[in-house]
Amino acid sequence: MPFSLSYGTEAMIPTEIRVPSPRILMINDNDKELWINLDLLEEMRDLALIREYNYKCQLQKYYDSRVQKCTFDAGDFVFHNNEAYSQERPGKLAPTWEDPYKVKEVLSKGAYKLEKLDGTEIPELGMWHIARLTVNYLFLACAPID
C-alpha cells in the first residue's frame, strides 16, 4: 500500500518477473495500465487519508471512554510527581508523590500553579501539568469545611 501511494503502481517481486503472470504477459499494455494507475493515484491517496482519519477517530473515542477526566480548582489539595524535576533517581522504594500542595491558580490547558500549605509560592517549580498531579484525598478528608 505505501509503495502504490508513492509510485502509483504495485511493487513487483523478482519471482513475478521470472514466472509468467497476467501482469507480465500484458507487458505491451503496461504503459496504458500505468497511466490509468497514475490517474487513480490521487483517489487512492484520498481514500487512505479518510481511512487514517477514521482510525484516529476510533482511537480517540476508545481512549476517551477509558480515561477519567480530572481537573482541579483553586484551593484543591494535590500531590505532585517528584520524578519530574529530580536529577537523580532516589531509588525504587522512594515515594513517587511529594508533599501536599495547594492549587494557587488554574492556568490554561491543564497547567496549574502550586503553593505550599502555608501560602508561600514555589518559584523553582513554576507551572505543573495535570499529568504530574494527583488528588490528595487525605488532606481533602481532614480539611476544615468553610
With H, G, I as helix, E, B as strand and everything else as coil, classify residue 104: strand
Per-residue pLDDT of the chain (146 residues; tens, 9 = 90+): 677 767 666 777 777 667 777 766 666 666 677 777 777 878 888 999 999 999 999 999 998 888 777 778 888 888 877 665 555 666 777 777 777 888 888 887 778 888 888 888 776 656 777 777 878 777 655 555 55
Show the domains of the chain with their CATH numbers: 2-66 (no CATH), 77-142 (2.30.30)
With H, G, I as helix, E, B as strand and everything else as coil, classify residue 111: strand
* Rounded-to-integer distance, Cα 38 and Cα 4, Å: 10
pLDDT value, residue 5: 67
pLDDT value, residue 62: 92
Annotate 35-63 with b (16+ C-beta within 10 A) or e (fewer): eeeeeebeeeeeeeeeeeeeeeeeeeeee
Percent residues over pLDDT 90 in the chain: 11
Count other C-beta atoms under 10 Å from residue 87's C-beta: 4
pLDDT value, residue 26: 65
State the sign of the Cα–Cα–Cα–Cα dihedral 12, 18, 22, 26.
positive
pLDDT value, residue 108: 76
pTM: 0.47
